[in-house]
Amino acid sequence: MADIGHLILVLALACASFSILAALTGAYKERLDLIQSGENAAIAVTGLLTLAALLLWQQILGHDFHNDYVASYSNRAMPVFYVFSAFWGGQKGSLLFWGWLLSLYSGLTIYLNRNKHRELMPYVVATLMLGAGFFILLNVFVSPPFEKLWQMADGRVIRALVKPLGGIAFAPADGRGLNPLLQHPAMAIHPPVLYLGFVGFSVPFAFAIASLITGRLDSQWLHTIRRWTLVPWFFLGIGMLLGGKWAYMELGWGGYWAWDPVENAALMPWLAGTAFIHSVMIQEKKNMLRVWNMVLILLTYFLCVFGTFLTRSGVISSVHSFAKSSIGAWFVAYMALLIIGPGILLFKRLPELKTKHHFDSVISRESAFLINNLVFLGALFAVFWGTIFPLVTEAIRGVKVTVAEPFFNTVITPMGLFLLFLTGAGPLVAWRKTSTKLLKKIFLPPTIVSLLGLIVFLVAGIRHVYALISLTMSIFVVATIVIEFHRGARARMRNGAEGYFQAIIRLFLRNKRRYGGYVVHFGMVVMFVGFTGKAFDIEKESHLKIGETMQIRGYELKYIDANTTEDANKIIWQTEMDVYKNGEKVKTIYPNKHFYKVQEQPTTEVVLRSTLLEDLYVVLAQPNEDRSAVFKVYINPLVNLVWLSGLIVTLGTFVILLPAQTEKRAARVQVKKSQPLETPA
C-alpha cells in the first residue's frame, strides 16, 4: 500500500505540472479547451491527494508500523482520537496535509468560478497549482510520508521507498507514539484549524497574481476575494486561540502566550491579513490605496509560507517546531520565487495601480483606516524582527541571541492599546472629512462613559497604568458600538413602523458586513479585557506534606492524598486537594503528572477551578517518594474572557459571511439568465 501511496503523489505532481502548463498555454493562445483541461487536472490533484490522505490515515489507524511515519508518530496505546491526529503530528504528514487542504481550496475555487472571472481563472489555477505542486514535490523527493522500514543483514534498520538490496521488510512491535505534549484535545484540533488559515490565503493571493498578470486592476478582484480572505483570517485567529488554550493547559506555566517563534509565525500573517481586510474598504469606497492593498495581500501569503518555513525547517528553537531538516533550503527557494515573481509583476503594473485620489482630511474615516494599517504593520515589523533576530545574530556573530518576552510586551502593548482606541474611534468619523463640531458631538458620549469607568477603576484601587488604559479604552469601544447600533435602530424606527429590537435585528439583515464587523470588534474588546487580566496574576509555590495547607489570595488548598497508577501508555502520579474559598469548601481537585513510557517524557496535567472572573490554576510540579509534593498555584483573573472572545468573533464572522440581499438578487438573476428559453408547443 505504501508503494501505491507514493505513486499517487507522483501522479498528483504530474497533474499539478500539467495543470500549470495547460492553463497558461490556454490563456496565451486563448484556447478554452486547454484552460478547461488545466482546471480538470487541478481537480484531479484534489482527488489524488484525497486518496493519498485517506491511505495514510488507513495505515495510521491500522497500526501499519512498516511505514516509518506511522511507527514514528503513533502507537497502540494511544487513544484513537490522537492516533487520528498523528496524520499532522510530524513533518511528512503535515506537509501532505497542507498540500491536500490546498487542493481542496483549489477544487472549490474552480467549482465556484466555473461560470465567471474566466479571464482571471487560468492564472488563478496556475498559481494555486504552483503552491500545491511545491508541497507535493517535498512529499515526493524530500519528505515522503510513505517511506518503509527495512532491516539489513547487519541488523541495521533503514528507511527507503523501495526495497534495498539485501533488506527485508521490518515492522517494530509498537510505534514510538505522538509527542506527549501534543496529546491534548486543543492541540489535536489546533493544527488543522491553523492550516485552514495558512492555506486559505493562497486563494486571494492567486486572484491578486491573476489581476496583476491580466491588468484587471479594478475592484472586481477585491469583491471576488472578500470571503476568501475573511475565512482564512478567521481560521488563523481561532487556531491561535486553540494553541493558546493548549499552552495554558499542557505546559503548566500559567500562561497562554509567550511570544514563541512559532506563535509569532501565525500572528504575522494574521496582522497583515487584518490590515488588508480593513484597507480594502477604502479602495471599495474611494478607489484609493490600490498599490497598498496589493502589497498587503502578497505579503500576507508570503508570511504564511514564511511561518511554515519557521515551523518545519527547525531553524528556530520552539516547543512547537519540528526537528532541523534539509527542507529549509527548498522553502527558501520557494520564498525567493514569491518575492521575485510578484515583485516584477507589481513593478510592471505600478503606473496602472496608482490613482489620483487623495485624502481630503486628516480627520476622516480614510485616515483612520490608514493609521490603523500603519500600526498593524508596525506591530508586524516588531514581531518579525524579534522572531528572526536569533537567526540574524547567528549569521553575523555565530551565536543565537534570543529576544525574550519583555521585548515584545514593551513594544507591542502600546501599539495594541492604540489599535483598541482606533477600533472605537474609526467608525465614529465620517468619510472624506469630519467637522470639529461634529467631532465633539460624536466623541463626547463615549468619552464621558469611559472616563466614568476610569474613575470607578481608580476608586477600586487599580493603579497599573496599562491596565487602566486598556480597561478605559475597552469601555470607550463598547460605548461606540452601542451608540452605532442605537443610532441605526432609531433611524429605522423613524422611517418605518418597527419596534426597537425589530429594528436591531433588521440592521443585521440589511448590512451584515457592517454590523457583523461590530460584533467582531466587540469580541476583540473582550479579548483585550482578558489580556488585561495578566496585570493582576499572582503565583505561589509550596512544598507540602499530606495534611498541610497553603494560602493564596482568598483560597486555601489542603493536600489530602497521593497515589500512583499506570496504564499501557503512561505512569500517572495523582494528588488530591480540597479547595476552600473564604473558608468554605468549593471543590476537590486532582493535580497530576504523567510519564509517557515509550517517549520517556513527563507532562504536566493542570487542574482548574474556573469562574468567569478568574481561574485557580494548580500544577503538581514535583511528586516525591515520601508522598510530599511541590505545588505551583496561580490566580489568573479574566483569562476566560480570552476564550469567550473566540466565540463572539465566530458569531460576528458568521454574520459577515452571510450573503447580502444584493448578492442574493444577483445570484437569482444569474440563474434566470442561464436557464434556456422554453420552446412553444
pLDDT in tens, 269-321: 999 999 999 988 888 887 888 899 999 999 999 999 999 898 877 677 655 55
Residue in the structure block whose three cell numbers are 506537509 = 95
The rounded radius of gyration (Å) of the Cα atoms in the chain is 28
Residue 25 lies in a domain: yes
Please check whether residue 182 is in contact with residue 106, taking contact to mean a CB–CB distance below 8 angstroms.
no
E strand or H helix at 209: helix 202-214
The dihedrals phi and psi of 637, each to the nearest 5 degrees, come to -70, 145
Q: Which residue, 21, 15, 63, is CA-closest to 40?
A: 15
The DSSP result for 417-446, as a single string, is HHHHHHHHHGGGSPSS---HHHHHHHHHHH
Contacts of 302 (CB under 8 A, 6+ apart): 335, 338, 339
Please check whether residue 606 is in contact with residue 618, taking contact to mean a CB–CB distance below 8 angstroms.
yes
Please check whether residue 177 is in contact with residue 75, taking contact to mean a CB–CB distance below 8 angstroms.
yes
SS3 23: helix
SS3 267: helix
Q: pLDDT tens across 599-651, in order?
A: 888 888 899 999 999 999 999 999 999 999 999 999 999 999 999 999 999 99
In the chain, DSSP finds a helix count (H) and a strand count (E) of 20, 13
Please check whether residue 406 is in contact with residue 340, taking contact to mean a CB–CB distance below 8 angstroms.
no
Q: Quick one: 564 and 435 in the same domain?
A: no
Q: Which residue, 263, 224, 217, is CA-closest to 244?
A: 263
Strand spans (E) along 49-111: none
- Cα 154 from Cα 539, distance rounded (Å): 55
Q: Give residue 661's pLDDT.
A: 59
Q: Is 672 exposed, middle or buried (0-12, 13-18, 19+ CB in 10 A)?
A: exposed
Strand spans (E) along 153-236: 157-160, 168-169
Please check whether residue 183 is in contact with residue 82, taking contact to mean a CB–CB distance below 8 angstroms.
yes
- Cα 70 from Cα 75, distance rounded (Å): 8
Q: pLDDT tens across 193-224, in order?
A: 999 999 999 999 999 999 999 999 887 788 88
Q: Quick one: 232 and 325 in the same domain?
A: yes
Q: Quick one: 499 and 624 in the same domain?
A: no
Q: Which residue, 572, 573, 562, 575, is CA-closest to 618?
A: 575
Q: Quick one: 346 and 206 in the same domain?
A: yes
Contacts of 512 (CB under 8 A, 6+ apart): 655, 656, 658, 660
Residue 596 lies in a domain: yes
Residue 382 lies in a domain: no
State how many domains the chain has.
4
Q: Which residue, 583, 547, 549, 552, is CA-closest to 562?
A: 547
SS3 574: strand
- Cα 557 from Cα 250, distance rounded (Å): 21
Q: Quick one: 199 and 100 in the same domain?
A: no
Residue 371 lies in a domain: no
Q: Quick one: 302 and 440 in the same domain?
A: no
What is the distance, to the nearest Å, from the Cα of residue 467 to the centroid of all Cα atoms in its chain? Answer: 26
Residue 171 lies in a domain: no
Q: Quick one: 491 and 543 in the same domain?
A: no
Q: Quick one: 506 and 542 in the same domain?
A: no
Q: Quick one: 301 and 216 in the same domain?
A: yes
- Cα 164 from Cα 152, distance rounded (Å): 8
Q: Among residues 127, 152, 177, which one ends one of the domains?
A: 152
Q: Which residue stretches of the chain have pLDDT < 70?
A: 1-2, 314, 317-325, 356-357, 359-361, 660-681
SS3 539: strand
CATH number of residue 561's parent domain: 2.60.98
Q: How many CB atoms lie within 10 A of CB 440?
A: 10
Please check whether residue 19 is in contact with residue 42, taking contact to mean a CB–CB distance below 8 angstroms.
yes
Q: Quick one: 503 and 543 in the same domain?
A: no
Residues in the chain: 681
Residue 364 lies in a domain: no
**Cα torsion angle, 450, 475, 424, 441, sign:** negative
SS3 of the chain: helix, strand, coil, percent, to 5: 65, 10, 25
Q: Quick one: 503 and 540 in the same domain?
A: no
Q: Give residue 322's pLDDT.
A: 53
Question: In one letter, which amino acid is 488?
Answer: G
Q: Which residue, 312, 181, 187, is CA-closest to 239?
A: 187
Residue 82 lies in a domain: yes
**Cα torsion angle, 36, 42, 43, 47, sign:** positive
Q: Give residue 319's pLDDT.
A: 53
- Cα 155 from Cα 479, distance rounded (Å): 72
SS3 350: helix
Contacts of 294 (CB under 8 A, 6+ apart): 208, 212, 346, 353
Contacts of 616 (CB under 8 A, 6+ apart): 555, 579, 608, 609, 610, 633, 634, 635
- Cα 49 from Cα 52, distance rounded (Å): 5
Q: Quick one: 9 and 143 in the same domain?
A: yes
Q: Give residue 669's pLDDT.
A: 46
Residue 551 lies in a domain: yes
Which domain, by its residues, includes 200?
A: 186-355
Contacts of 433 (CB under 8 A, 6+ apart): 360, 361, 363, 364
